């Protein structure tokens, strides 16, 4: 499995190998495509667009419903493959990644029949106006390596449900479930060319896709740094752009919070997917009166987290995606030792785990809000904690970031909760929880975390164009407004 173009598996390009981050063993040999493969895929998507965009909502819904059933039947296969290529514990892929993808597919099977517009009406008096929502066209998407299957689904499903066709470039180090996802979609009745996958590097396949003149829209999930490059590339042909970028989520714990719940939420929220999650809790902002107890509780619970083989049901935490990324995380923690306190973790495990890219769950306390460990995205199993004294200070610290993807507020006071959800600048603010997502609600950020929404019917705002249609109601040749153009007729 390398590329999926126009309804067929295709092997073309330079050879490469996908490795299991947990032990370094090969998972699959692949080929990396470039401009030629992207060109073939875009041509297939352009050809398929005419028929697919004219399919009825019921027809598109039916295909997606069949797709959801097929994914359910092959859920074990997807979970095992996702675990191996991305280094995820099998429990995470079985209980989170794959079920979430199936649910998303089932949701968009229904949402495909619910494209809404403003009510038809006579707004000028002499005309009847109505709104059409139409597909944008060919969508070029670039997905990340941290959630290969789910991110593919988040990009593909709203696009095709709305009548678009798509060319998706997965991360070249984790493309396997994305290609299988496209193959199962086609086997479920999705016409050839509607959903294409080209595996390749960013400079080759990604750059070509973003700048291709026959691509009408680009969607990117990844770092803010690369997101700026995507914007520049899309500007060359004035494409519509959808960006889901980095995050540095605040986890605000007030003095009246359920401390046990906050401790459990902080550990789960910071360690999910080994911390390789844009919405992961990374900055614990805790009231000084409960700060020491919070730090002690988080450290104790982190110490009980089990690192191990990803195929083992007992494993809680998997490896980071690569040795280079693990070393980057370790470097940030090591530099933090000079200005903050590493309470627990901060080491690369030895023994049986040395063959993989593991890093221990890490809690850093007393970091200055202006320090690297607090300001910059770590993307690893690291939580930085700092105290606050007043509600105003807590909100200010939560907003003291260029990012605005997600946040959480922990309190029993409804007024504090309301203030936090209003004043914290993030695309999603949880109250007394962190990370939870559902298909019916949107996901997306503000500030340098990007713009546009994944999931929910709000995603259709990105993947459709609004067209105003206006009918004359008078049947007259001469209109009053004509007199502003010519008087003597």
Is 278 annotated as catalytic? yes
The angle subtended at Cα 43 by Cα 42 and Cα 46, nearest 5°, is 85
Name the strand (E) or helix (H) holding 58.
Answer: helix 57-73
Are 384 and 225 within 8 A, CB to CB?
Answer: no
Are 169 and 200 within 8 A, CB to CB?
Answer: yes
Burial (0-12, 13-18, 19+ Cβ within 10 Å), 70: middle
Distance between the two ends of the chain, CA-based, in angstroms? 70
Q: How many residues are there in the chain? A: 489
What is d(CA 153, CA 185) in angstroms, rounded to the nearest whole number? 11
What is d(CA 14, CA 18) in angstroms, rounded to the nearest whole number? 13
Nearest to 460 by CA among 444, 436, 448, 438: 444
Burial (0-12, 13-18, 19+ Cβ within 10 Å), 488: exposed
Sign of the CA dihedral 197, 200, 205, 206?
positive
Among residues 82, 172, 278, 377, the one annotated as catalytic is 278
What is d(CA 317, CA 359) in angstroms, rounded to the nearest whole number? 9
Is 244 annotated as catalytic? yes
Backbone phi, then psi, for 461, in 5-degree steps? -60, -30
Token representation of residue 338: 């000079």
Among residues 244, 313, 372, 440, the one annotated as catalytic is 244
Token representation of residue 417: 């909760």
What is d(CA 164, CA 464) in angstroms, rounded to the nearest whole number? 8
Q: How many CB atoms lie within 10 A of CB 12?
A: 16
Q: Looking at the annotation, which residues are catalytic?
A: 244, 278
């Amino acid at each position: 499995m390398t590329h999926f173009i126009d309804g067929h598996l295709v092997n073309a390009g330079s050879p490469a190998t996908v490795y299991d981050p947990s032990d370094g063993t090969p998972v699959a040999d692949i080929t990396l495509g470039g401009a030629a493969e992207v060109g073939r895929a875009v041509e297939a998507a352009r050809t398929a667009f005419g028929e697919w965009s004219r399919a009825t909502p019921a027809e598109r819904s039916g295909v997606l419903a069949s797709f959801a059933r097929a994914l359910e039947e092959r859920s074990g296969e997807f979970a095992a493959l996702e675990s191996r290529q991305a280094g995820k514990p099998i429990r995470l892929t079985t209980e989170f990644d794959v079920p979430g993808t199936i649910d998303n597919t089932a949701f968009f099977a229904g949402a495909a029949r619910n494209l809404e517009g403003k009510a038809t009406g006579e707004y000028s008096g002499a005309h009847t106006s109505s709104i059409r929502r139409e597909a944008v066209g060919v969508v070029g998407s670039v997905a990340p390596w941290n959630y290969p299957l789910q991110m593919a689904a988040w990009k593909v499903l709203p696009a095709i449900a709305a009548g678009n066709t798509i060319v998706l470039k997965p991360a070249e180090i984790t493309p396997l479930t994305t290609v299988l996802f496209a193959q199962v979609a086609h086997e479920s009745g999705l016409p050839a060319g509607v959903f294409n996958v080209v595996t390749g590097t960013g400079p080759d396949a990604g750059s070509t896709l973003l700048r291709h003149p026959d691509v009408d829209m680009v969607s990117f999930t990844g770092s803010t740094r690369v997101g700026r490059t995507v914007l520049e590339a899309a500007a060359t042909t004035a494409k519509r752009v959808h960006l889901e970028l980095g995050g540095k989520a605040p986890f605000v714990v007030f003095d009246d919070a359920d401390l046990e719940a906050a401790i459990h939420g902080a550990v789960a929220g910071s360690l999910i997917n080994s911390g390789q999650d844009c919405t992961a809790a990374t900055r614990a902002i805790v009231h000084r009166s409960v700060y020491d107890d919070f730090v002690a509780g988080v450290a104790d619970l982190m110490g009980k987290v089990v690192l191990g083989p990803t195929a083992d049901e007992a494993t809680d935490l998997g490896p980071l995606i690569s040795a280079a990324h693990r070393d980057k995380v370790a470097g940030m923690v090591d530099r933090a030792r000079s200005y903050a306190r590493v309470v627990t973790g901060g080491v690369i495990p030895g023994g049986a785990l040395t063959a993989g890219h593991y890093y221990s769950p890490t809690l850093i306390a007393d970091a200055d809000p202006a320090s690297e460990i607090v300001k910059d995205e770590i993307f690893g199993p690291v939580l930085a904690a700092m105290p606050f004294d007043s509600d105003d200070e807590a909100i200010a610290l939560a907003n003291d970031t260029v990012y605005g993807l997600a946040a959480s507020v922990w309190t029993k006071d409804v007024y504090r909760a309301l203030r936090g959800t209003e004043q914290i600048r993030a695309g999603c603010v949880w109250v007394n929880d962190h990370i939870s997502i559902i298909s019916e609600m949107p996901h997306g950020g503000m500030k340098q975390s990007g713009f546009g929404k994944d999931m929910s019917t709000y995603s259709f705002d990105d993947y459709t164009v609004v067209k105003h249609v206006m009918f004359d109601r008078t049947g007259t040749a001469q209109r009053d407004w004509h007199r502003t153009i010519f008087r003597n007729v």
